[in-house]
């Protein structure tokens, strides 16, 4: 099915042909008829009798004038017909090499035009190839940037998010729940006696303990909760939609699912809608400090 542009070219060619016929009639045929009528009806009857030379000269002039008009009309018709054919061939997407075989100026023009079209098609193919490679490179760059961004927010040891990401999410949640008046709570945890584990088993043993504890705790959280490693042996949990009581239930369930885990201390704070994100973390940190000063039991909040 021809495109809109091809259809427009075809219509333009048809209109050009009609206009050309009208132009030839107005500029050649009608003037020729008028000239013949004037000479026959006005000029020739007015000539003196017995002067055939003058009459023959006038007739020759009329003949040459008529030939000039006819020749000019033919040239106009030939050029217009060529332009009309070009429009029709372009509209039907056919090759226009036939016009290039002509030996006149039109043939030279069409030969140059064909060469220009070939050059344009070649360059268009090269541009399309380059655009394809550029698009593939751009997608690869986007993928690489996404992986780098994800890596920059992840803790290598535990696979949890880091402090930077936790702070960003905390700000987002506080802004969201400030509008909708929903509760938000934060929980801080740290492992008891972690330094002794590092001293006894080295940093590799400490990393194993951190990763194992993080996996056990994360299994007891809700899908909407966010857990991050924010320090050496300190973890933070963001609990959207939880008040202090609900956050306590989440923590108890989380710790109950890690019965073989090490002892830990827990500090909990509910946002009061007046504090900043850093203020909320300070409240949770004070609660954590108070919990560490009290007697602790393995795998239970102090």
Which residues form the catalytic set?
Answer: 233
Rounded CA separation 137/223 (Å): 35
């Amino acid at each position: 099915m021809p495109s809109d542009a091809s259809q427009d070219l075809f219509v333009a060619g048809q209109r050009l042909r009609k206009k050309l016929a009208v132009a030839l009639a107005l500029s050649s045929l009608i003037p020729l008829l008028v000239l013949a009528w004037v000479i026959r009806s006005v000029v020739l009857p007015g000539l003196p009798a017995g002067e055939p030379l003058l009459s023959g000269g006038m007739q020759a002039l009329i003949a040459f004038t008529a030939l000039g008009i006819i020749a000019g009309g033919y040239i106009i018709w030939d050029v217009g017909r060529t332009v009309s054919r070009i429009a029709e061939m372009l509209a039907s997407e056919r090759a226009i090499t036939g016009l290039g075989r002509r030996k006149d100026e039109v043939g030279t023009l069409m030969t140059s035009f064909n060469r220009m079209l070939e050059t344009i098609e070649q360059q268009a193919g090269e541009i399309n190839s380059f655009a394809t490679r550029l698009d593939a490179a751009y997608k690869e760059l986007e993928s690489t940037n996404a992986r780098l961004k994800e890596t920059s927010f992840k803790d290598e040891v535990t696979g949890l998010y880091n402090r930077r990401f936790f702070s960003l999410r905390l700000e987002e949640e506080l802004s969201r729940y400030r509008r909708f008046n929903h509760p938000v709570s934060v929980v801080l945890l740290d492992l008891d006696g972690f330094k002794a584990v590092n001293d006894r088993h080295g940093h590799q043993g400490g990393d194993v303990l951190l990763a194992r504890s993080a996996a056990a705790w994360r299994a007891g959280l809700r899908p909407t909760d966010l857990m991050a490693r924010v320090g050496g042996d300190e973890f933070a949990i963001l609990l959207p939609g939880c008040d202090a009581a609900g956050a306590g239930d989440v923590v108890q369930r989380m710790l109950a699912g890690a019965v073989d885990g090490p002892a830990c201390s827990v500090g909990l704070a509910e946002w009061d809608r007046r504090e900043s994100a850093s203020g909320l973390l300070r409240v949770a940190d004070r609660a954590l400090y108070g919990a560490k000063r009290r007697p602790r039991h393995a795998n239970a909040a102090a």
